[in-house]
Structure 1
Amino acid sequence: MQLQQLRKVTAIGGGHGLGRLMATLSFLRHRLIGIVATTDNGGATGLLRDAHQCIAWGDIRNCLSQLANQPLAKEVLNYRFNSDSALHGHNLGNLLLYTLDELSARPIDGIQLLSRLLKVESRVLPMSESPTDLAGASNEAFDCLGELCVDELPNMPKRLMLSPPVKATPEAIRHIRQSDVVIIGPGSFLTSIMPPLLVTEITQTIAESSAKVIFIDNLLKEQSPAGNLSVEQKLSWMAKQLNTQLVDLVITADKQAYTGPLPVISGVVAEPGMPHRHESNSLLHAIERALEQLEIAPRP
C-alpha cells in the first residue's frame, strides 16, 4: 500500500469529517496527525467556552472518540448529561479534556494524556492553543461573530477571519513541514475546514512545503451558505480568502461535481444507512488513487 510508505500525513478539518478520515488512516499510527478546528461556539462546547474562555474541545473529542478502538470509551467521551443533572447540556468528554488542560502545562499535554489512555497512536492537535472565534463579514465590516452566526448567514461571507488572530500549535507546523501529503476535508466548509487555514502560519507552511494537497468534498450538500457552492466555487473562494491556491487534487463522489482544472478522483460512496459519512474502504481506495495520480513518493 502506497500510504504505508509515506513518512508523514497531515489531515485538517473539524470533528466529524476529520475524525472519520483519521479513523480510516489510523493504521499510519504516529505518522498521522489531525489539525483540528477550535472555533466552535455552540452546544456543550459553547457552554464551556462561555464559562472558562478556553479553546473549543468538541471537535477534538469527536476525533478522539472515532480513533478510540473501544466502544465503551466512545460512549463515555460522547456522554451528554440530561436535564436531571446540574451539568445539563455538558458533554463528559469535553469536561474531561478541559480538566486535563487545567492540570497540564499546555492544552496539547492534556490531549496527549487522554490519547495515551485511549491507546490512540495518531496525534490530534488543536489548530491553536489560544481561544479564538470565527468572524464573518457580510459586507465590508466583520458583523458576524462565532460559528453559529456564520452558519446562519443567508449568503457566503465576503471575508472570514479569526478574532483574535492566533498562533499555530508549533507541533502542527513541524509535522506539516515533514509531510508528504496534506488532506483537507471532508467537513463543513466554513466552520470546519476554513478555521485552521485562517491561522496564517498553517497556510504559509503548507504553501511553502513540498507536500501535495488533497481536498475531499462532502457527500451531501451542507446546511450553510457553502451548501450552494460547487466544488470549484469552494476552492476559488478559499484561494481568494487565503491569497494562495493550495489544492492539487480533488476527491468527490461524483466526477461531474467538479469541472475545474485540477485532477479529480471520484467513486467514493457513503456508509450504508449514513449518507453523510464516507465508507472507509472507498475513501481509502480514493486516497490511494490520488497518491498514484499525483505521483507522491515518500521522502528519504
Structure 2
Amino acid sequence: MSRPHVAALGGGTGLSSLLRGLKAHDLDISAIVGVADDGGSSGRLRRELGILPPGDIRNVLVALAEDESLMGRLFQYRFADGDLSGHPFGNLILAALSQVTGSFDEAVREASRVLNVKGRVIPGALEHVRLWAEREDGSEACGETRIASGTGACRRVWLDPEPAAHPEAIAAVADADLVLLGPGSLFTSVLPHLAVAEIAGAVRTAPGLRVYVCNVMTQPGETDGMDAATHLDRVLEMAPGGVDVGV
C-alpha cells in the first residue's frame, strides 16, 4: 500500500514548522515553496547573482532533512561579520550549486540529496517575479519586504510578471491525497501561490482533501483586524471552491 501523499504550499517559517511535524509520519511529502522573497540575504543574492531567492527553500530543506544535526546547523549558520554578514551558509550553497549545475531547480535537488531530505522540495515557479499588494485603503506596495513592513490590512496580491508554475508543483497538487495551504503569512506566503493561475487551477480541481491552515493570530501589515472567516474568504477569492476544510 502506497504512503499518503501530502502537498504543502507556503513560505519559509510557517511551512517549515508544519513540515517538521509531517516528516515524523510515514508520508510522501511534496513541499511547494514561493519564490517572491526580496529581503535580507535572499534579496541580496537575487539582485547580485540573478538567482531565485534561496532563503525559504533553505528553511524547508532543513525542516525536511532526515537529520537536522550537523548539516542542518551548517545550512542555517549565518555569518556575522565581513562581506558575508547576514548570509546563511545554506543560501550560499544554493547559490553556488545554481552556478555549478546551471539551474536553481537542479541546485535544490542536489541540496536535497546532501541533506537527505524526506520528500521533495519544489519551487512554485522558476521565473523572477515581484509581489504586489493592494491594501484596504487602496494603496499599493511592491515587494514582500515592503508589504510585510507596511501599515494596514492587505486586500489582494498579484505577481508581476505572472509566471508559469513549476510542472512538478502542478503534478504534486493533482496527485496529493491531502493539499495543505498554510500556515504562514497570508498575503506574502500563502496567497502568492494562488496568484499563479496554474497552481490556483490545480488546487481548485485537486481530487484530494484541501485544507487551509489559518494562523492563530493576525499579522501587522497584512491581516490587521481580520478574523479567521476573512482569511478563508481571501483564499477562496483566488481559488474558488479550492478549500474543503479550514482549521
Task: Output the TM-score relative to the length of structure 2.
Answer: 0.91
Amino acid in structure 2 at the alignment position of 1:208: T
Q: How many residues end up aligned between the 2 structures?
A: 246
**Structure 1 residues 36-87: Cα deviation after superposition (integer angstroms, max 9, x where no partner):** 011111111111112123211111101111222231122111111112x221
Structure 2 CA distance, aligned partners of 1:179 and 1:138?
33
Amino acid in structure 2 at the alignment position of 1:244: P
Say if 2:45 is the partner of 1:42: no
Amino acid in structure 2 at the alignment position of 1:115: S
Change (3 A) 1:200 1:29: farther
**1:115 shift after superposition:** 0.8
Structure 1 CA distance, aligned partners of 2:50 and 2:28?
32
3-state SS in 2 of match to 1:130: coil
Match of 1:81 among 79, 82, 86: 79
3-state SS in 1 of match to 2:83: coil
Match of 2:92 among 72, 95, 107: 95
Residue of structure 2 equivalent to 1:226: 223
Match of 1:71 among 54, 69, 72: 69
Higher Cα Rg, which structure: 1
3-state SS in 1 of match to 2:96: helix
Change (3 A) 1:101 1:28: farther
Say if 2:210 is the partner of 1:245: no
**1:139 shift after superposition:** 7.4
Contact 2:200 2:239 in 1 (8 A): no
Structure 2 CA distance, aligned partners of 1:136 and 1:53?
23
Contact 1:111 1:124 in 2 (8 A): yes
Change (3 A) 1:159 1:63: same
Amino acid in structure 2 at the alignment position of 1:111: V
**1:207 shift after superposition:** 0.8
Contact 2:183 2:213 in 1 (8 A): yes
Structure 1 CA distance, aligned partners of 2:63 and 2:207?
29
Structure 2 CA distance, aligned partners of 1:99 and 1:28?
32
Structure 2 CA distance, aligned partners of 1:220 and 1:239?
19
Structure 1 CA distance, aligned partners of 2:203 and 2:229?
20
Structure 1 CA distance, aligned partners of 2:201 and 2:137?
25
- Greater shift, 97-106 or 58-67, is seen at 97-106
Residue of structure 1 equivalent to 2:210: 213
Amino acid in structure 1 at the alignment position of 2:240: T
Match of 2:17 among 20, 43, 60: 20
**Structure 1 residues 270-299: Cα deviation after superposition (integer angstroms, max 9, x where no partner):** xxxxxxxxxxxxxxxxxxxxxxxxxxxxxx
Structure 2 CA distance, aligned partners of 1:50 and 1:30?
37
**1:27 shift after superposition:** 4.5
- Greater shift, 47-56 or 166-175, is seen at 47-56
Structure 2: tracts of 5 or more residues without a match? none
**1:235 shift after superposition:** 1.2
Match of 1:160 among 157, 162, 168: 157
Say if 2:186 is the partner of 1:189: yes
Structure 1 CA distance, aligned partners of 2:191 and 2:107?
25
Query: In angstroms, what is the RMSD of aligned CA positions?
Result: 2.1
Residue of structure 2 equivalent to 1:148: 145
- Greater shift, 183-192 or 17-26, is seen at 17-26
**1:129 shift after superposition:** 1.1
Structure 1: tracts of 5 or more residues without a match? 252-300
Amino acid in structure 1 at the alignment position of 2:72: K
Amino acid in structure 1 at the alignment position of 2:234: W
Task: Output the TM-score relative to the length of structure 1.
Answer: 0.76
